[in-house]
Amino acid sequence: MAKEIVDAMAMQRALTRITYEIIEKNKGVTNLAIVGIKTRGVFIGQRIADRLQQLEGATIPVIPLDITHYRDDDAERAGEKSSFNVDIDNKRIILVDDVLFTGRTIRAALDAIMDNGRPAAVNLAVLVDRGHRELPIRADFVGKNIPTATSEKIRVNMKEFDGQDGIEIR
């Protein structure tokens, strides 16, 4: 059975805090670009970009990334590359996803980013870090650390896609 563990208000506050941390770490927003991992990472990335616009008056591009063909368990379609419509050379990339678990999605996303250019830096922002990493990957900005059992599943709901905000465990 699904149980809500983070409500809409708390989720929005976590995203606001991440936005301030991004500004602080980057000493502003110059040269930033957001790469959002489909599906919900794109909506989270867009929310962060909207807040950055409000706070700093800057329009930060949000690049949607589908990592399906970069996964190490998708050998059949490996080699199909995703191409960005924004030049990322020398940009400071904020890579955004909803949940960080084994780290395999982020590893694949880093491959896709490097196929598209040479950014100055890549930082990782996730709404939820649920632990159980299988690779040496960590997030620079974390909305909520939620300890889980491997058998559990975290689900992030976003207004834009799911009709309402919130984080559930099942």
Ligand X SMILES: O=P(O)(O)OC[C@H]1O[C@H](OP(=O)(O)OP(=O)(O)O)[C@H](O)[C@@H]1O
Ligand Y SMILES: O=c1cc[nH]c(=O)[nH]1
Instruction: Give me the residues that bind ligand Y (CB under 6 A), please.
Output: 99, 101, 130, 153-154
Interface characters, 29-48, with ligand X (x: CB under 6 A): --------x-x---------
CB of 50 to ligand X, least distance (A): 20
Distance CA 22, CA 131 (A): 22
Position among 33, 101, 113, 127 found at the interface with ligand X (CB under 6 A): 101
User: How many residues at the interface with ligand X, by CB under 6 A?
Assistant: 11
Q: How far apart, in Å, are the Cα atoms of 147 and each of 48, 97, 99, 112, 142?
A: 24, 17, 12, 29, 13
User: Residue 40's CB: how many other CB atoms inside 10 A?
Assistant: 21
6 vs 29, beta carbon nearer ligand X: 6
Q: What six digits make up the tokens of 79?
A: 């080699």
Residues near ligand X, by CB under 6 A: 37, 39, 97-105
